[in-house]
Structure 1
Amino acid sequence: MDLAILRVVPFIMLVHMSSIMAEGATLFSELSNSLTVSVTGADNTSPNGTKAGADELLVTWALNSAAQVDDSSYKTVELKLCFGAPSQVDRAWRKTNDILSKDKTCGFKIASPQPYNRAGNTTKWLVGKEIPFAHYFVRAYVLDSAGEKVAYGQSSNAQRTSNLFTIEPISGRHASIDIAAAVFSAFSVISLFGFFFYEKMSKRTSKA
Structure 2
Amino acid sequence: MASRLHIASLLLFCLVENCYGAVLFSSLKRTLVVTASPKAGEVLKAGEEQITVNWGLNQSFPASTDSAYKTVKVKLCYAPLSQEDRSWRKTNNDLSKDKTCQHSIVSKPYDSSTNNVKQSFDWIIERDVPTATYFVRAYAYNSDGDEVGYGQTTDAKKTTNLFEIQGISGRHASLDIAAACFSAFSLVSLLGFFYLEKKKAKMSV
- TM-score calculated relative to the size of structure 1: 0.75
Aligned-pair CA distance for 1:68 = 2.9
C-alpha contact (below 8 Å) 1:139/1:155 kept by paired residues:
yes
Unaligned segments of structure 2, at least 5 residues: 1-5
- Aligned match of 1:130: 128
Aligned-pair CA distance for 1:163 = 0.8
Q: Which has the higher contact order (CA 8 A, sep 6+)?
A: 2
Give 3-state SS (helix, strand or coil) of 2:104's partner. Answer: strand
- Aligned match of 1:56: 50
Deviations, residues 156-208 of structure 1 (Å, cap 9, x unaligned)? 1111121111111123534652332121342356468769989x99xxx7xxx
Which structure has the bigger radius of gyration?
1
Indicate yes or no: 2:96 matched with 1:101.
yes
Taking a change above 3 Å as real, the CA distance of residues 54 and 31 of structure 1, as seen in their structure-2 partners, is same
Taking a change above 3 Å as real, the CA distance of residues 51 and 130 of structure 1, as seen in their structure-2 partners, is same
Aligned-pair CA distance for 1:122 = 0.7
The separation in 2 between residues aligned to 1:11 and 1:165, in whole angstroms, is 46
The separation in 2 between residues aligned to 1:72 and 1:197, in whole angstroms, is 79
Give 3-state SS (helix, strand or coil) of 1:179's partner. Answer: helix
Aligned-pair CA distance for 1:85 = 0.8
Unaligned segments of structure 1, at least 5 residues: 1-8
Q: What fraction of aligned residue pairs are identical, expressed as a percent?
A: 44
Give the aligned CA root-mean-square deviation in angstroms. 3.6
State how 1:142-153 maps to structure 2 within 5 Å. Answer: 142-153=140-151
Give the paired residue count: 199
- TM-score calculated relative to the size of structure 2: 0.76
Taking a change above 3 Å as real, the CA distance of residues 23 and 110 of structure 1, as seen in their structure-2 partners, is farther
Taking a change above 3 Å as real, the CA distance of residues 98 and 14 of structure 1, as seen in their structure-2 partners, is closer
